[in-house]
Structure formats: structure tokens, C-alpha cells
Amino acid sequence: MPIFDAHIHFSHDAAALLAAGEAAAILVKAGLKRALVSSSGDAGTRALYAAAPDLVLPSLRPYRRRGETGSWVDDPSVIDFLEDRVRRFRWVAVGEFHLFASQTGKAVPRRMVDLARQHNLLLHAHSDAGAVDAIFAQWPEARVLWAHAGFVGPDIVGPMLAKHANLWTDLAFRNEHAYRGRVDDDWRSLFTAFPDRVMVGTDTFTPERWYHVVEHADWTRQWLADLPPGLAERIAWRNGEAMIRPHLANLGK
């Protein structure tokens, strides 16, 4: 089964370990149909996109190097960086960024959301539910991919998906929903209630995680086999494809 992996990073330290061509070969070996890729320092994403333009969906992260996940919201130079990169290169999304409810009134994240609006970018948010609500309050037509299903349970994810029609979620680092390859009942209910809104992701947040991309794809296929085939296919790749389609024009596709 092909997989749309919604959560791949190829940051500067991973790019120092693996050439872009080698990283692209790993994505192909894992059987990925597409990968939403971002990196701390955008060079990694651009190199991987150049190496595999039909597979990689480039996303612009507001980080220039590791360690900016907490400081970026107070750093106006992040906006200069984002404005420069959206002017010079093609992107389908902005993120993955870390943004929490208490930070959403700050000028830098608000300006980032404005930039996403101006450039038709999906927002890949590592956020709590309050920050997701605040993004939609600022821009009601936003399209948001909620990373890691917010690290909360179906009791919170379900109502959020019901409230926001343009909210999708990735299951990166949420494999506990399918311990031993069997999908828990509460997650199964969520997938059944929102069959179009959930997708999978590996999250190569450290360079070493690149050695697990193939294994993660295999594990994903194992637990997806515990779902009805049509639903499994949607979560594996169809939902990601549908989510990203309105942004592909940004790439000239």
C-alpha cells in the first residue's frame, strides 16, 4: 500500500549525515507516494525536493537551525526569513511550527499566518487545541494539519475535527493507538467518524530517525490492516492527497 507521509523533516544535521539522494532513496524504499517535508534550515527541504520532485512536498519551517522551537515566536527576524523564502522558492505549506495558545497573540506567529494566507500555504501546527482555534479565529479559511493529533486523545481530537472543516491531523508519534498492531476502539471510532481527516507521519525529528523510515512505513501498513480496506487506504494516502491538492498549484503542478 502506498503511503502519504505527512511528517518528515530533513534538517541541517540530517542533511549532514545523508545526501539528499540517499534520503530520497529511503523514502522510495519505504514505499512512500508523497512526503510532506520540512527542515530546520530550509536548505534540506529544497535539496530533497530537487532530488525527488514528484515525491516531496516542500514545507517552509520558521526555524533556521535546531533549537528555535520555543524562541521563534519572539524573534522578528523569523518573518524576514519567511518573506525571503516565499519570494524565492516554491512551497505547499508552512511548518511544522510549534505554537501554543498562550503565544497566539504574538506578532510573529500572526504575521506567519498572514503570509500563509497570501501564499495559499497549508499550516502544519504542533499545537494545543487552543492554538488551532486561534489560527482559525485569525483566518477562518485556513487549512491546518494538526501535528501528532495534538498529543491528545480522540475525546479532544473528535470535537476539534467536528468544529473545523479544514482541519486534518497526522498520527506521528501516536502509535500507542495501535499497540501490537490492533487499533484501539476509541481511535477506531474516531477514524470511522472522520474517515477523510486523519493521515500518518513518521516525524524524522532527529537524524537517527531516518534509519526508521522504512520500518515505520511497514509498521503503519501492519496496523492499517486492522481497519476496513477503504478506510485504511484513506488514512494511508488518499486523505493526504486530497488535503494537499489545492496547494499543488504553488509548485506549478
Dihedral angle computed from the Cα positions of residues 178, 181, 185 and 189, in that order, rounded to the nearest 10 degrees = 70
Interaction with Zn ion in 25-54: which residues (CB under 5 A)? none
Which set of grid coordinates corresponds to residue 233? 487506504
Closer Cβ to Zn ion, 71 or 189, answer by number: 71
Closer Cβ to Zn ion, 227 or 240, answer by number: 240
Side by side, the strands of the sheet bearing 56-60 are 3-9, 32-38, 56-60, 93-99, 122-127, 144-146, 167-170, 198-199
Q: Which helix (H) or strand (E) holds 57?
A: strand 56-60
- If one asks whether residue 170 binds Zn ion (CB under 5 A), the answer comes out as no
Which set of grid coordinates corresponds to residue 135? 489560527
**Near Zn ion by CB under 5 A: residue from 8, 73, 93, 96:** 96
Closer Cβ to Zn ion, 128 or 203, answer by number: 203
Compute the distance between CA of residue 39 and CA of residue 7 in angstroms, rounded to an integer: 11
**Near Zn ion by CB under 5 A: residue from 203, 213, 236, 243:** 203
Report, in Å, the least distance between residue 126 CB and Zn ion.
Answer: 6
Closer Cβ to Zn ion, 232 or 243, answer by number: 243
Closer Cβ to Zn ion, 42 or 203, answer by number: 203
Size of the site for Zn ion (CB under 5 A): 3
Which set of grid coordinates corresponds to residue 159? 470535537
Q: What is the CA radius of gyration of the chain?
A: 17
Closer Cβ to Zn ion, 97 or 136, answer by number: 97
Closer Cβ to Zn ion, 71 or 118, answer by number: 71
What's CA 84's distance to the chain center, in Å? 22
Report, in Å, the least distance between residue 147 CB and Zn ion.
Answer: 6
Do the Cβ atoms of 169 and 201 come closer than 8 Å?
no
Report, in Å, the least distance between residue 174 CB and Zn ion.
Answer: 12
Do the Cβ atoms of 38 and 61 come closer than 8 Å?
yes
Compute the distance between CA of residue 244 and CA of residue 238 in angstroms, rounded to an integer: 10
Pick the stretch among 85-93, 104-112, 196-204, 206-214 that binds Zn ion (CB under 5 A).
196-204
Report, in Å, the least distance between residue 148 CB and Zn ion.
Answer: 8
Pick the stretch among 26-34, 67-75, 191-199, 204-212 that binds Zn ion (CB under 5 A).
204-212
Q: For the stretch 30-56, what's the b/e string if a residue is b when 16 or more beta carbons lie within 10 angstroms of its beta carbon?
A: bbbbbbbbbbbbbebbbbbbebbeebb
Report, in Å, the least distance between residue 172 CB and Zn ion.
Answer: 6
Report, in Å, the least distance between residue 192 CB and Zn ion.
Answer: 27
Report, in Å, the least distance between residue 162 CB and Zn ion.
Answer: 25
Determine the 3-state secondary structure of 23 from DSSP: helix
Pick the stretch among 67-75, 181-189, 201-209, 221-229 that binds Zn ion (CB under 5 A).
201-209
Applying CB under 5 A, the residues found at the interface with Zn ion are 96, 203, 205
